[in-house]
A and B are shown apart, each in its own frame.
Chain A
Amino acid sequence: AQSVTQPDIHITVSEGASLELRCNYSYGATPYLFWYVQSPGQGLQLLLKYFSGDTLVQGIKGFEAEFKRSQSSFNLRKPSVHWSDAAEYFCAVGANFGNEKLTFGTGTRLTIIP
């Protein structure tokens, strides 16, 4: 069965600093990987996704993520965070395009300090 681990429950970053959120997955074949963001009281919004091809994927709001098969990781990065990036971030994995059930990680809450 597929699984996702987000080892950091809460991260605090200064505005303007760089950010990296960690995501490790478990799945036998090539997974479909996603990062979602959830602002307080809101639903989830897709930031980016990886299906195949270039292992560095660009998303919305200046985020990027890199798929590393050897490390079973799909870490999310941003070079310079803004106060509006404060939210909860979820990594998710899907088995294949025909299996649309996503498994979500437990989330990382990001706090931005001025």
Chain B
Amino acid sequence: NAGVTQTPKFRVLKTGQSMTLLCAQDMNHEYMYWYRQDPGMGLRLIHYSVGEGTTAKGEVPDGYNVSRLKKQNFLLGLESAAPSQTSVYFCASISESTYEQYFGPGTRLTVT
């Protein structure tokens, strides 16, 4: 039982490049989330999904897209990276029974 895993752990992009962050969970959770964490701002919700094939916007969705083609995977895409997207990205899933969010270890992204 690996919990929530994220790939990659680190990435450096040039402005305008694209990339996809992968989140995987093996707990059969319906709900999954992508957050970004910036100094002094806590965690802010980018997008979330309430089940396979569904996605919804969070607090700061601009510049990001997501897909949930399989229940266990939640992908976060940056089509044209900008320096403002330099951040640490966390994926999470929630247990519907305990309402506890389980977090991945994070992806540190730098856009130059």
- Residues on A facing B (Cβ under 8 Å): 9, 32, 34, 41-46, 49, 51, 90, 94, 97, 100-102, 104-107
Between A and B, how many residue pairs show CB distances below 8 Å?
Answer: 48
Docked-complex contact B42 and A105, CB < 8 angstroms: yes
Specify the chain A residue showing the minimal Cβ separation from B104.
Answer: A43
Residues of B52-108 whose CB lies within 8 A of A: 58, 90, 92, 94, 99-101, 103-106
User: Beyond A101-B48, A101-B58, is A46–B40 a contact (Cβ under 8 Å)?
Assistant: no
Query: How many Å lie between the Cα of A7 and that of B99 in the bound state?
Result: 26
Query: How many Å lie between the Cα of A20 and that of B88 in the bound state?
Result: 27
User: Beyond A100-B31, A100-B94, is A46–B100 a contact (Cβ under 8 Å)?
Assistant: yes
Across chains A and B, which 5 residue pairs bring their CB atoms closest together, nearest first?
A43-B103, A106-B42, A104-B42, A104-B43, A44-B103
Docked-complex contact A106 and B101, CB < 8 angstroms: no
Indicate whether B45 reaches chain A with its CB closer than 8 angstroms: yes
Provide the residues of chain B in CB contact with A49, threshold 8 Å: 99-100
Specify the chain A residue showing the minimal Cβ separation from B41.
Answer: A106
Query: How many Å lie between the Cα of A102 and that of B59 in the bound state?
Result: 11
User: Beyond A9-B40, A43-B90, A106-B40, is A100–B45 a contact (Cβ under 8 Å)?
Assistant: no
Q: Which of A41, A90, A97, A102 neighbours the largest number of chain B CB atoms within 10 Å of its CB?
A: A102
